[in-house]
Amino acid sequence: MEQDQEMLVRARRMRGSPTDAEARLWRCLRAGRMRAYKFRRQQPIGRFVVDFACMRCKLVIELDGGQHLDRLDQDLQRTGWLRSQGFEMIRFWNDDALLRTDVVLEEILRVLEGCGSR
């Protein structure tokens, strides 16, 4: 229970200081703007806090900066655990979210529209 509370505090803190890429993508995903799919940001799932999650479709979206090049093993473990819990995960580089937002949104929508067939 204590760990759950720590995760919530951490998630709240992360919501208060998003990266530029997270802020841009959140403006597009929030309030059902993605064809009424509801997203949560900085969502605790197990021992992880994910950038964005559509709980209905069990879709996790992660935005990665350059620091993730040094954390490939950790990211693989995280992805494996989330998949073992039934989540699908898609990752985008921060630059893509900032400079090719439309392409990122098209990919997210493509995955969302397929969520009923999983």
What does the domain layout of the chain look like in residue ranges? 2-117
Average pLDDT over residues 55-81: 85
> Which amino acid type is present at position 59?
L
Selected residue with higher pLDDT from 8 and 62? 62
Q: How far apart are CA 60 and CA 83, in angstroms?
A: 10
pTM of the predicted model as reported, rounded to 2 decimal places: 0.83
Contact 14, 26 (CB under 8 A): no
pLDDT band for 33, please (50, 70, 90 cuts): confident
Q: Is CATH 3.40.960.10 what the domain over 2-117 is classified as, yes or no? A: yes
What tokens were used for 53? 């999650």
Residues 7-23 as b or e (16 or more Cβ within 10 Å = b): beeebeebeeebeebbe
**115 has a pLDDT exceeding 80:** yes
What tokens were used for 18? 């998003």
Bridge partner residues of 86 (DSSP):
none
114 three-state secondary structure:
coil
Q: Give me the sign of the Cα torsion angle 42, 43, 49, 52.
A: negative
The pairing of beta strand 48-54 with beta strand 40-45: antiparallel
What is residue 35's predicted lDDT score, i.e. its pLDDT? 84
**Residue 43, phi then psi, degrees to nearest 5:** -95, 120
Selected residue with higher pLDDT from 12 and 34? 34
